[in-house]
Structure 1
Amino acid sequence: MGPTAFADVEGFATEVPVARRLFAEADEALGYPVLDRFRDAEGDYSEYAQVAFLVTCLALAEWAEREALPARPGLCAGPSFGGKAAAAYVGCLSFADAVWMTARLARCVADYFSREHGDLVTHSFVRVAPETAERMFGELTARGRRADVACRVDRDFFMVTLSADDLPGLEKAIRAAGGLSLYTMRPPMHSPALARLRERAEKEVLAELEFAEPRLPVISDHDGSALTTGEQVRALLLDGFVRRMHWPETVAALRGRGVRTVCVAGPDGLFGRVPATTRNFEVVPVGPKRPLLGADRVAGPR
């Protein structure tokens, strides 16, 4: 999930039957009109933006299976925020429960950060060699400062959680290394510092849900392991608060299981486009602006 404007999903959500149906079901599950709230919401990661992202991803996945793909997928991966959609897609949670969970987790996170870790952010940058990035992080930790790798998106694409006070120095080091800073997330994500948030999410939200066995394996975005039980998928969602996302390991695991084509279902400006993905797979992008984009690119079952 990245910053997504209401206009990016409005047409798909209101004109495509499967999207209209799922948004109506989400409205019923939450007791409010999701699209109306999303349109008026502030911030890239509001409760309403997160629910709209979940519903859009699942609607696009259902549409793609029926209209764009020659065969049903045999594996599923949901990096970072996509883990919630993955849990619903593989049947660990009902659609209504996944919608409820997404909204409740967003509220839990917002309340937590209104009280704790107000100084932490997650900063993304590219075009920095791994050894240089590790040296930057090491220089911060040697001074007793936090520098947790939140996401490894590609060989030279990182997200790091650190104090906002240390961000100007890091950005200067990134520029000196020939890199490019991209985006700073507030609140932060994927850091061991968020252990109490993980505990709250488990107690206040996921304890209310039962996770069924997945109908197909989920490839962990943490280490590439194959998750085949509901309890493993539940742990994946909770561990996302404190463990880094490692996309190259996820890619390697998919390749190792024979995957050569991936369908990226959802608003995507990242995972379907980075070289780690495009160099390893035939990518079928199925997004809300042009859901037919990938339909003619599929040569046959993979």
Structure 2
Amino acid sequence: MRAFLFPGQGSQKVGMGAELADASEAARDVFGEVDEALLQKLSTMMREGPEDQLTLTTNAQPAIMANAIATLRVLERDFGIKLEAHGHCVAGHSLGEYAALCAVGAFSLTDTARLLKLRGRAMQSAVPVGEGTMAVLLGADIEQAKALADAAAQGEICEIANDNDPTQVVISGHTAAIERAVVLVKEFGIKRGMILNVSAPFHCSLMQPAADRMAEALTITSPAAFTLPVYANVSAAAVTDPEHERALLVEQVTGRVRWRESVLAMRADGVESFVELGGKVLGPMVSRIDKDAQVTNLVTMADLEAFAKEMA
């Protein structure tokens, strides 16, 4: 069994998608549709920068999705590898869950781009700049991270945002609480804590205003039926019902990204092969979660060609 994976924020970089766009009409069509949907030349920003603009949450979220879907469309149209024929399920990290849903027909590309643009704006504006941040804990398991977060909170918000793999957990909350956590890491047996260069404290309860806005948006633009199960971030379980998935997408804004558990759940359900589309972030996480899992990253035309030959 094979799962197709879709990366999340942090995988953006200037030049992303340029090779695919130069080589394939299928990729150009994706970038053109996203540009039209957002009424901006996002594809130019992806190709040329500036990096500080591409990194902004409101741009990074639709850009990462567009790159992943472009990779998928090239695989499907240029190499004849259909997702439904060669995959058994999909999953995405944070915003990547929207890309996964787009890939299996729950949202159109246009709607996905608009929802992610709104999601980025809502998350950016939920907390005043400087009041919240995030930190990555290296060499930390989930129990160590939870104990540290509880100790550092001191009446403020300090919560686990991402359970990425057995050695990497991300915490999120009020800036002072996150800074206290970084100072305390050694006391909890954690190798290192680093403040992340992010514009807001994602995936914690401070994001509730953004969750409220997404609830409204997803009532208007709800997921349709999808062709493959989606492993949702907040439940770490397969979802097939669109209404259930809509509720989980709202919960996801403030909830923990349970990526480690999601990969373990897919493995328990029989998935042996994981294919990341448009990035090289999730694949290494999968390998750290389960060294026996087969991992493939598809970024370049050469990657896609090699994968197509393998599937032939």
Sort the TM-score into its range (normalised by shorter chain): 0.7 to 0.9
Secondary structure in 2 aligned to 1:76?
Answer: strand
> Which residue identity does 1:216 align to in structure 2?
L
Provide, for residues 149-198 of structure 1, a one-character-per-residue CA deviation record: whole Å limited to 9, x for no partner. 11101122101112212333322333564513355122111112322321
Question: 1:152 and 1:272, CA in 2 relative to 1: closer, same or farther beyond 3 A?
Answer: same
* One of 8, 16, 25 as aligned partner of 1:17: 25
Provide, for residues 13-54 of structure 1, a one-character-per-residue CA deviation record: whole Å limited to 9, x for no partner. 343322111111112222222123442352623322222211
Counterpart residue number, 1:7: 15
Distance 2:26 2:289 in 1: 28
Question: 1:139 and 1:104, CA in 2 relative to 1: closer, same or farther beyond 3 A?
Answer: closer
Distance 2:111 2:65 in 1: 12
Pairwise CA RMSD of aligned residues? 2.6
1:88 and 2:102 correspond: yes
Provide, for residues 125-153 of structure 1, a one-character-per-residue CA deviation record: whole Å limited to 9, x for no partner. 21124443333123124x32322111101
Question: 1:261 and 1:297, CA in 2 relative to 1: closer, same or farther beyond 3 A?
Answer: same
1:265 and 2:277 correspond: yes
Identity of aligned residues (%): 20
Displacement of 1:293: 2.8
Higher helix share: 2
1:111 and 2:125 correspond: yes
Displacement of 1:294: 6.4
Counterpart residue number, 1:249: 261
Provide, for residues 55-96 of structure 1, a one-character-per-residue CA deviation record: whole Å limited to 9, x for no partner. 111111233345385952110111211011012111111111
The 10-residue stretch of structure 1 (230-239 or 59-68) with the greater mean CA deviation from structure 2: 59-68
> Which residue identity does 2:95 align to in structure 1?
F
* One of 184, 195, 198 as aligned partner of 2:211: 198
Distance 2:68 2:164 in 1: 20
> Which residue identity does 2:28 align to in structure 1?
R
Distance 2:76 2:269 in 1: 21
TM-score scaled by length of structure 1: 0.86
The 10-residue stretch of structure 1 (167-176 or 64-73) with the greater mean CA deviation from structure 2: 64-73
Counterpart residue number, 2:191: 179
The answer to whether the 8 Å contact 2:132/2:200 transfers is yes
Unaligned regions of 5+ residues in structure 2, if any?
1-7
Unaligned regions of 5+ residues in structure 1, if any?
none
TM-score scaled by length of structure 2: 0.84
For these two proteins, the number of residue pairs brought into alignment is 294
Distance 2:152 2:193 in 1: 17
